[in-house]
Chain A
Amino acid sequence: MSLIASVHASPLGLLLVLAVIVPLCGLAPLLLLKSRVAERAALVFLAAGLAIVCVLCFEVARSGAPLAYFLGGFKPPLGVGLRADGFSAFMLGVTAVVIVSAGLFAMTAPGADAPRMPLAFWMLLLGVWSALNLVYVADDLFALYVALELLTFAAVPLVCLDGRAKTLSAALQYLLFALFGSVLYLLGAALLYGTYGTLDIILLAQRAHGEPALLAALALMTAGMLAKAALFPLYLWLPAAHAGAPAAASAILSAVVIKAPIFLVVRFWYDIATPAQTAAVAPILAALGAGAVVLCGVFALRQARLKLLIAYSTAAQIGYLFLMFPLAAASAGAGAWGAIAWTGGALHLVSHALSKAAMFMAAGVIAETVGHDRIAQLSGIGRIVPISVFAFGLGGLSLMGLPPSGGFVAKVMLLTSAVQQGAWWIAIVILVGGLLAAGYVLRVLLPALQRPVAEVVPVPVARWREMVALALALGAVALGFVPLQPAAFLAIGRPASWEGAAP
């Protein structure tokens, strides 16, 4: 009981509750408003949520210790604990940036006559945010189950906002995959409770000593999370769902929603499982990740539509996050090199979130301006919407892993770690994935910079929406200049094996 006794409710622990509740509070009042007013009201809640997350991250960084809060004052195993360590705070921050940007992107200009996003979008946006925050701060496996289901229920309708048959069937497909993942997770949680009598992550880590039941339960839960994260070969639902949604929704789904299950997989194998179990499972996860990087990369090359190309690219880029597992799992033996892999994985996660959100927004602007997103007819688009094409290009720069960008630093870290540990096949997959990404980004970018073939009458799009995409893409590039700054922050409150991340 030493560790749980050492976890005290922090004075500012209430921030964890607020981060979950404030977006949720916005949901119900929005229902009473008209969509014009609802936009503004949603913006107020977005700003409040962003402020809370900023204070929370600042507090974690300042105190150098995780924030904790016990609901009702009951400590686990009796009560439910909320906890934000460095990794959680990092994810909260990334999510807040992407969600607020998507909100700004979806706004209508004051007084403009342009069609606006339906009211449901704003409610679902706040719902997704609340569920994501709960995933990142909950320390109890059943609270996490509820959070995952809330996330599913908020994310699925985002896919079919326009109500066309195509997006409805994509949403149904997504829902069935997500429910499949949820029940597997619940089965694993049942086994864990039956064996250890608790669902608190910290208590589980203390009571578990590598029993087969632990491995079976975590394997079930991981399989469920892989279905939700669309890791190869369970990616089938992702392209249709992410490509069919409105641009602002696609940006959220691709950039942050699929990161929540990946965060939980990291929690399972690094916070609960024993290092020996993690080392045994990590190569399997990496093999699936390698399959995603290579095959989904090839599929992305073959797409005829811009949004589908970006969606397949998401399925490919998720693979990199799983390549991190065996490299980071070896950190006990390989010292700092494993920690480098871990930092590289986290950097890849945030740079992918920013660049992918930027690319989906840019693709949305392009589709609105010229009325379609068929890649073959996008020649010369760079002269019509230069800012969006620039944002797309900067995002692509990070996906390819060209310097200077966050994607470059992340891939260099993973590559260094792979080479140092002699994991040559991971190194090859990282390099091949970079080449494939270059292929599918340049396939769009090169014709876009040519002279236009046909004259099109562009539909004007508000300038600041393009600027939101550009700001996100610039953020992804700017990460390349602070490669090791997040390492110390990420290590706050982590198990000892993750510390000493700086080489």
Chain B
Amino acid sequence: MSALLSTPTLFGLTGAALVAIGLYGLIVQGDAVRRILAFNILGGGIFLLFGVIARRGAGAGFGGDPVPQAMVITGIVVAFSATALAVALVRRLQALPPEAEDGDEATAGASTEREAAS
């Protein structure tokens, strides 16, 4: 296989394409769920790049490098939690009735400011 189409190059280019698609979606899309998806595509591209770096072992100078793989695992866990938090916010937002736009929400804000917890 030529150097141009070696596995790391192919994976690297795929990762770059995913990053581009995700970045575009995150900036252009207005809908929150679509932006969360775009964030996940972007993250997927970056994790793929980590895989390429691990395969090349370029930095450490040997065949396969386990450090980027360890980082990817952490990255995936973090991205998963971030997605869960974002989706929870979206769901809560959709469950609430739309707020009246009477400009008097300052009063509501002050009274709920120190909300009772018990």
Tell me whether B112 and A164 are in contact (CB under 8 A): yes
Q: Report A339 CB to chain B, min CB distance, Å.
A: 34
The secondary structure that dominates the A interface is helix
B63 at the interface (CB under 8 A from A): no
**With A163-B92, A172-B32, A179-B86: A197-B61 Cβ-Cβ less than 8 Å:** yes
Tell me whether A116 and B35 are in contact (CB under 8 A): no
Tell me whether A117 and B82 are in contact (CB under 8 A): no
A29 at the interface (CB under 8 A from B): no
Tell me whether A367 and B113 are in contact (CB under 8 A): yes
A40 at the interface (CB under 8 A from B): no
Tell me whether B68 and A175 are in contact (CB under 8 A): no
B115 at the interface (CB under 8 A from A): yes
Tell me whether A367 and B59 are in contact (CB under 8 A): no
A168 at the interface (CB under 8 A from B): yes
* Interface size band for A: 35 or more
For residue A161, which residue of chain B has the nearest CB? Answer: B115
Question: Which residues of A lie under 8 Å from residue B60 when comparing CB positions?
Answer: 197
Question: B117: which of A117, A156, A172 is its contact (CB, 8 Å)?
Answer: A117
Question: A367: which of B35, B42, B67, B106 is its contact (CB, 8 Å)?
Answer: B106
B-contact 0/1 string along A359-374, CB 8 Å cutoff: 0000010011001111
Tell me whether A116 and B98 are in contact (CB under 8 A): no
| Segment of A62-70, A183-191, A417-425, A438-446 in the binding face | A183-191
Tell me whether A368 and B118 are in contact (CB under 8 A): no
Tell me whether A197 and B106 are in contact (CB under 8 A): no
- Cα(A149)–Cα(B76), bound, Å: 12
Tell me whether B114 and A114 are in contact (CB under 8 A): yes
- Cα(A152)–Cα(B49), bound, Å: 24
B-contact 0/1 string along A101-135, CB 8 Å cutoff: 00000001000001111111000000000000000
A-contact 0/1 string along B96-107, CB 8 Å cutoff: 111100001111
Tell me whether A165 and B106 are in contact (CB under 8 A): no
Tell me whether A194 and B99 are in contact (CB under 8 A): no
B10 at the interface (CB under 8 A from A): no
- Cα(A172)–Cα(B82), bound, Å: 11
Q: Report B3 CB to chain A, min CB distance, Å.
A: 17
Tell me whether A371 and B107 are in contact (CB under 8 A): yes
Q: Report A75 CB to chain B, min CB distance, Å.
A: 15
Tell me whether A179 and B93 are in contact (CB under 8 A): no
Tell me whether A368 and B99 are in contact (CB under 8 A): no
A45 at the interface (CB under 8 A from B): no
Tell me whether A247 and B113 are in contact (CB under 8 A): yes
Q: Which of A152, A175, A183, A305 has the most CB of B within 10 A?
A: A183
Tell me whether B71 and A142 are in contact (CB under 8 A): yes
B110 at the interface (CB under 8 A from A): yes
Question: Which residues of B lie under 8 Å from residue A372 when comparing CB positions?
Answer: 104, 106-107, 110
Q: Report B114 CB to chain A, min CB distance, Å.
A: 4
- Cα(A119)–Cα(B75), bound, Å: 29
Question: A368: which of B49, B108, B114 is its contact (CB, 8 Å)?
Answer: B114
Question: Which residues of B lie under 8 Å from residue A180 when comparing CB positions?
Answer: 26, 39
Q: Which of B49, B74, B99, B113 has the most CB of A within 10 A?
A: B113
For residue A78, which residue of chain B has the nearest CB? Answer: B67
A-contact 0/1 string along B36-73, CB 8 Å cutoff: 10010011001001101100101111000001100100
Question: Which residues of A lie under 8 Å from residue B93 when comparing CB positions?
Answer: 165, 168-169, 172
For residue B83, which residue of chain A has the nearest CB? Answer: A179
A81 at the interface (CB under 8 A from B): no
Question: B110: which of A35, A119, A197, A367 is its contact (CB, 8 Å)?
Answer: A367
B116 at the interface (CB under 8 A from A): yes
For residue A173, which residue of chain B has the nearest CB? Answer: B32
A-contact 0/1 string along B1-23, CB 8 Å cutoff: 00000000000000000010010
A280 at the interface (CB under 8 A from B): no
- Cα(A152)–Cα(B113), bound, Å: 22
Question: Which residues of A lie under 8 Å from residue B86 when comparing CB positions?
Answer: 172, 175-176, 179
Q: Which 7 A-B pairs have the closest CB atoms?
A: A197-B59, A35-B117, A118-B117, A194-B53, A372-B106, A367-B110, A115-B114
Chain A positions within 8 Å of B, measured between CB atoms, are 34-36, 108, 114-120, 142, 145-146, 149, 152-153, 156, 160-166, 168-169, 171-172, 175-176, 179-180, 182-183, 186-187, 190-191, 193-198, 244, 246-247, 305, 364, 367-368, 371-374
5 A/B residue pairs, CB under 8 Å, sorted by A? A166-B105, A175-B85, A183-B43, A368-B113, A371-B111
Q: A172-B32, A176-B26 are in contact. List 4 more A-B contacts (CB 8 A).
A: A117-B114, A195-B59, A244-B109, A367-B110
